[in-house]
Structure 1
Amino acid sequence: MNEFYVYLLQCRDGSLYCGYTVDLEARVKKHNSGLGAKYTRCRTPVQLVYYEKLSSKSEALQREAAIKKLTRAQKLQLVASYSLLLNNTDDKGHEK
């Protein structure tokens, strides 16, 4: 079964980029190599700041569209809540 991801990258200039992929690690590497989306090519390095795992391509694309409609402030709030969640869990996703 495939995994589908929606992600947010923070670019070198502080802007945010939202995308969809089936291989998160490879996609971030591709963005940083300059072979990713046109938007990120001149804004490397990029850093993964948020992602969600979804069960279908359709769900992932719908979620990507929803995130892209958010304001910058709302996207930053999403990133902040994700960071808080990560800081409160161990490397296996269990609460500290």
Structure 2
Amino acid sequence: MGIYIYMLRCSDGSYYMGSATGHDLQPRIDQHNAGSYEGYTFSRRPVVLVWSEYFDRITDGIAVERQIKGWSCAKKEALVRSDWKNLSRLSRRRAGKPSTG
């Protein structure tokens, strides 16, 4: 069993990153829109699925989810548009500062 990593656009324009195991993502999106669980999306409904990717290995999917959660809104929007040139530009280090990692 693998995992879907997904991004929702909320009614307030913000983005929510989530994950769902299995091979069908729609029931999880329906739960968000129904308000089945209190959390980030509960007061920001309706939500719309704007990006998802399936990973065979759950650990790979979780790593990608954590990475994208730390991205700026502009970077997330570039991913949604599949704008790889802009995503690459937004990923560059600023002002030649050395990496801390």
Calculate the TM-score normalised by the size of structure 1.
0.79
Offset, 1:78: 0.2
Contact 1:18 1:64 in 2 (8 A): yes
- Cα deviations across residues 12-40 of structure 1 (Å, max 9, x unaligned)? 11110001111411110000000146000
Q: Superposition pairs for residues 50-69 of structure 1, below 5 Å?
A: 50-69=51-70
Q: Superposition pairs for residues 36-75 of structure 1, below 5 Å?
A: 36=37, 38-75=39-76
After the TM superposition, which parts of structure 1 deviate over 6 Å for at least 4 consecutive aligned residues? none
Q: For the aligned residues, what is the CA RMSD?
A: 1.4
Unpaired stretches in structure 1, ≥5 consecutive residues: 83-96
**In 1, Cα distance between equivalents of 2:14 and 2:37:** 15
Q: How many residues align?
A: 81
Unpaired stretches in structure 2, ≥5 consecutive residues: 84-101
Calculate the TM-score normalised by the size of structure 2.
0.75
Q: Higher Cα Rg: structure 1 or 2?
A: 2
Higher helix residue share: 1
Q: Percent identity?
A: 38
Match for residue 6 of structure 1?
5
